[in-house]
């Protein structure tokens, strides 16, 4: 369960794919606006929210590598893609009246602060949303791992993983197998042993070693971010 650490602070990992709407390239402002409204509501209710957004709606390093590109360079392209998602979300959060700061692991002073964990904590205490962009700033990592690491560093009580089009963790792909069974709860070890699609193994291991609970839930269902923050029984909870 999530009882260990009640900091009132949450790390929200958003699927980059969700930002594109139909799964294509780029950002659908209507979708980002809807997500921003949901985040604004929980912030107004007093939750402290930090956000990491994936980059699957722009570039995935591993996919570009298969097409012949250098892996590290294509990973940097992937990281830069996440920053565009951050700016889009920042814009709609600010329109909702929520102060928002973007902090990036790759310095780009005109658009974002550098990643400064103590400063991020101060922003959160003041009710600002902090969005972490450009992943870890290192090739061969993922935004899932970034979300886990940042969650630990800012002392979040849980990692809330909002997925696009799936409402939890299943024993097989529910999009192709109608008999797929959803888990309500899982242990980190089971996720790793069965290679379940929660996050990459680096992220899961980091959460397991530091006892950070992960809630996997459907991102675009109205009210779900609030339900996740309140600890309602939605999705799949991964803990020990
Ligand atoms: N990426 C990286 N290091 C990081 C975070 C992300 O190299 O710390 C790159 C990587 O190429 C990845 C892309 O950024 O494919 C987009 O990130 P994301 O984790 O969203 O990939 P996805 O889960 O969509 O495959």
CATH number, domain with residue 169: 3.40.1160.10
ipTM of the complex: 0.95
Q: How many Cβ atoms sit within 10 Å of the Cβ of residue 211?
A: 12
Q: Which of 58, 64, 73, 79 to mutate to test the pocket of ligand 1 (most atoms within 8 A of CB)?
A: 79
Is 141 labelled a binding residue?
yes
Q: Is there a domain that residue 35 lies in?
A: yes
> From the CA of 26, how far away is ligand 1's center (Å)?
15
Q: Is 143 annotated as a binding residue?
A: yes
pTM of the shown model: 0.96
pLDDT digits (tens, 9 = 90+) for 86-140: 999 999 999 999 999 999 999 999 999 999 999 999 999 999 999 999 999 999 9
Which DSSP letter does residue 199 get? B
Residue 5's pLDDT is: 73
228 within a domain of the structure (yes/no) = yes
Whether 2 maps to a domain, the answer reads: no
Domain count within the chain: 1
Residue 37 in domain: yes
Q: Is 75 annotated as a binding residue?
A: yes
Distance between CA atoms of 106 and 81, rounded to whole angstroms? 12
> What atom in ligand 1 is closest to the CA of residue 146?
8
Domain hosting residue 76, numbered range: 9-239
Residues whose CB falls within 8 Å of the CB of residue 42, separated by 6 or more in sequence, listed in order: 49, 225, 226, 229
């Amino acid at each position: 369960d999530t009882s260990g650490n009640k900091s009132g602070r949450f790390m929200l990992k958003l699927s980059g794919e969700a930002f594109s709407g139909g799964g294509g390239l780029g950002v659908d402002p209507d979708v980002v606006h809807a997500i921003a409204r949901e985040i604004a509501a929980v912030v107004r209710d007093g939750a402290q929210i930090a956000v990491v957004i994936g980059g699957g709606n722009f570039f995935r390093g591993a996919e570009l590598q298969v097409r012949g590109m250098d892996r590290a360079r294509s990973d940097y392209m992937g990281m830069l893609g996440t920053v565009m998602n951050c700016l889009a979300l920042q814009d709609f959060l600010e329109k909702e009246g929520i102060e928002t700061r973007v902090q990036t692991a790759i310095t780009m002073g005109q658009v974002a602060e550098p990643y400064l964990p103590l400063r991020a904590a101060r922003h959160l205490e003041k009710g600002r949303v902090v969005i972490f962009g450009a992943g870890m700033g290192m090739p061969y990592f993922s935004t899932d791992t970034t979300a886990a690491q940042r969650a630990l560093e800012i002392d979040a009580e849980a990692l809330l993983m909002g997925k696009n089009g799936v409402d939890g963790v299943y024993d097989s792909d529910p999009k192709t197998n109608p008999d797929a069974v959803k888990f309500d709860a899982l242990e980190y070890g089971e996720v790793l042993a069965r290679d379940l699609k929660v996050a990459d193994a680096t992220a899961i291991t980091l959460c397991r070693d530091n006892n950070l609970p992960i809630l996997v839930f459907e991102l675009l269902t109205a009210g779900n971010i609030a339900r996740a923050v309140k600890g309602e029984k939605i999705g799949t909870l991964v803990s020990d």
